[in-house]
Structure 1
């Protein structure tokens, strides 16, 4: 990998610790926890701190989990702590609405990121338009991107740009990629668009940092990462590690290493019961290509039905389930149980 540059180009790190990390604690982060980490991330110079329910604006529900705090209170709390960093929010059409976006901007959001399944970029049109009309930065990302080819992802990202996205990219929602997979996809996207390219890795196969470097090598300039990797499943790319590694490669993130180490310590002490790690189930989730956030409901369904959670994850992977299809977990578990009778 030849990504060393004497000019120290800038890589923008986007930090969803206070949004994706909510997955790891059943969306139960409280105001004091939000404030403590946001204050530390701001002091470290993190460019964008994203906050909200794990599934984004408007997602708090019985189906996927009620958040401890309403969106508006989460946003207000974090906004007050961010004197320099921008505040970001995430929304998937179907969970959030245009009203949610307007409320987020009223509460101080600077960056709105609209998400869609990797082959459904067209569903973002309305909300990207709303974001632009609200006068904030509009980004768009494709979820479960391992389910589409590099050419299809490039086509979809080009469409996102025409719909008004000012940055576009992909998420490895299942932690399924190898570095070569990332490089091929990011390179195709970078050649197809004229806006910054985003990449988010998950660590199910232990490759999140390597995959993020592959993305940078291929042309991505916006990389997602969280403190201690705090997030769904086996964790995200670990922010403080990525800051250090990018510095060694000659890139400028604008983030102070000592300060981000302190922020990561606060995240570990205040936000999580234990740092995320790769266990057997998380590994199988990555291999099967299943959304990392399904780990807890899969384990619960497997226990209720008396089936092997590994087999359940593999079966869900065969059916190519995606976030929002949590109801299928129980159906598939019951099918597995019936098959062994």
Structure 2
């Protein structure tokens, strides 16, 4: 919401959230960038109420948990109760990394409401490992289902993520999560470092859309997890479609030009050279097949530059396979 000046409409939410749900995303967070009831003169006004957006999202969700962010001091327990009535099934309660105490009432209330409850320790680069563990243990004691080390400023290096997530994993009984920003171009690398250190919840956003330099690109992260044979519930093609068919048209309608290059990502995922893309797109159109399937098959065949003539053959074979199903 911050990236579009809080201008997502209920119709926009339906388009994007419905596509994310189909892509198998476990938890979908919507709402103002500063959390529930963050629509103020200080943080920027939304064009629509949190509750209208929650109701819109809830109307198209079939599998995913629907979450909002709540920052104590901005959002209240009463706001949380109203959000639950509107359709949320999860909540992420965020404090500064040294101030978990202020979340006690909110985390306990969320659990009483039956919500999947995430403790969000923001700006985690600003404190040392021991203090971060101390604050995370507080959130665990209040009843949080998951605690996140959140790199709100995009300032952490993979070694920092490894150190902090490993310490949380050693000391907490509940799962650990990580949220990256891409200010140093390390969002995916830091997400992988978190997973390798024991995190089981990793945040992403379509096309990396988010405050500042953006967040971990959901589509890119899924591709990398697939390549690493790391188990998850998301579908790569569906996530890419959620971006190109769900999110990007919404952004373009608002006059924004998202900086995405899913073509480059899928070529890296398939392991084929960039010269193949234009030819593959033409063949996909000619034979009515998915260009991604062409590239994946070329990757399996270990095609290299100069073997573009394989593209027609592959597209034709895929078309025949589809017609025989």
> Same fold by TM-score, threshold 0.5 exceeded?
yes
2:251/2:258 contact within 8 Å kept: no
1:235/1:276 contact within 8 Å kept: no
Query: Structure 2 CA distance, aligned partners of 1:58 and 1:64?
Result: 10
1:89/1:111 contact within 8 Å kept: yes
1:63 aligns with 2:45: no
Whose relative contact order is higher, 1 or 2, with alpha carbons under 8 Å and at least 6 apart?
1
Unaligned runs of 5+ in 2: 261-325
1:271 CA drift (Å): 3.1
1:268 aligns with 2:248: yes
1:165 CA drift (Å): 0.7
- 1:169: which partner in 2? 148
Alignment of 1:313-328 (within 5 A): none
Alignment of 1:198-217 (within 5 A): 198-217=177-196
Larger Rg: 2
Tell me the SS of whatever aligns to 2:59: helix
- 1:93: which partner in 2? 72
1:275 CA drift (Å): 2.1
Query: Structure 2 CA distance, aligned partners of 1:274 and 1:209?
Result: 22
Unaligned runs of 5+ in 1: 1-21, 278-341
Q: How large is the RMSD of aligned CA atoms in angstroms?
A: 1.1
1:114 aligns with 2:114: no
1:258 aligns with 2:237: yes
Alignment of 1:278-293 (within 5 A): none
- 1:147: which partner in 2? 126
- 1:298: which partner in 2? none
Query: Structure 1 CA distance, aligned partners of 2:59 and 2:171?
Result: 38
Alignment of 1:100-249 (within 5 A): 100-249=79-228
Aligned length: 256
Which TM-score applies when normalising by structure 1? 0.74
1:268 CA drift (Å): 2.1
Query: Structure 1 CA distance, aligned partners of 2:168 and 2:63?
Result: 31
Query: Structure 1 CA distance, aligned partners of 2:249 and 2:212?
Result: 19
Query: Structure 2 CA distance, aligned partners of 1:52 and 1:101?
Result: 13
